Amino acid sequence: MDFDFNLILVPLTLVLGVIWLVEKFALKQRKTRGRGQENVFVRWAYDFFPVLAVVLVVRSFLLEPFNIPSSSMVPTLYTGDFIAVNKYAYGVRLPLTYNKILDTGSPERGDVVVFRYPENPNIYYIKRLIGLPGDTVSFDNGQISINGEPVPTKVADFDANPELTAQLYGAGEVAPGQMLDAKQAKEMGESEEMGAQYLQETQGEHQHLVRYITGMNSSQYGPFLQSQSPDVVSSEGKQWQVTVPEGHYFMMGDNRDRSADSRFWGFVPDENLAGKAVYIWMHKPAGLTLPTFDRNGAID
């Protein structure tokens, strides 16, 4: 989710809307000249402005589609999933300025949230909300606790779909200096899955699976965690603790050892929230492939 489509949609809709209004209520040349003689911009305004206006309203205030570009939320979401995001779950916001004009709800622990990446707000990320403002989030060898209370967690019996496992990584640079072709990327995903362990976590009304990789612990590489004082983060990253400041949230990917999340870049401000991921409506692997719909369903 590397680009904010509203950067194009909003200015284009506004420009065509102004042209439509001026022509409709001031110039009124369309009635005297006819469609064939009218200015090309006027024709575009009449043809496209109503459609773009509807799209803008739906995308900005109701539902917006997103495509999952990485495996950081496996097994909840896989690369190639197309999802619908509820834009009014956490308040109605104006496009581009992101000012909240109507408070319609608040995030809850366990929500799958789309937000603007704190280090580059033009990019959208998707993670699971772990810590609310004021929460103390701690981790001890795979067990997450909130304010000293362990999140209910148990080993899950889960067999990953081999086709989805083969799509975990795409060709290209998967790590600094590590370049893979399509075959190597497929083999990497399949090999890694052999050492994957799945746990079931329950947070509020959400019951979901998380994935850990035997022998890995990405927390030890998280710059944000490592910037904390030694008394709250062990050098190996197997135990850590952070307190979420007011007006912010702590996010983690479900693919715990393959997710660049709050452990790496810190907390997400409330004004960066874009919506709640609610539904998978299509899956399409990379390349010239047909979409499938067998993953359709609500996101927990």
Task: Tell me which residues are annotated as active site.
Answer: 72, 127
Find residue 209's DSSP bridge partners.
200
Structure tokens at 182: 């399509």
Cis peptide before 230 (omega within 30 of 0): no
SS (H, E, C) the chain: CCCCCHHHHHHHHHHHHHHHHHHHHHHCHHHHHCHHHCCHHHHHHHHHHHHHHHHHHHHHHHEEEEECCCCCCCCCCCCCEEEEEECCCCCEECCCCCCEEECCCCCCCCCEEEEECCCCCCCEEEEEEEECCCCEEEEECCEEEECCEECCEEECCCCCCHHHHCCCCCCEEEECCEEECHHHHHHHHHHHHCCEEEEEEEECCEEEEEEEECCCCHHHHCHHHHCCCCCCECCCCCEEEEECCCCEEEEECCEHHHCCCHHHHCCEEHHHEEEEEEEEEEECCCCCCCCECCCCEECC
Q: Residue 114, class by beta-carbon neighbours within 10 Å (0-12 exposed, 13-18 middle, 19+ buried)?
A: buried
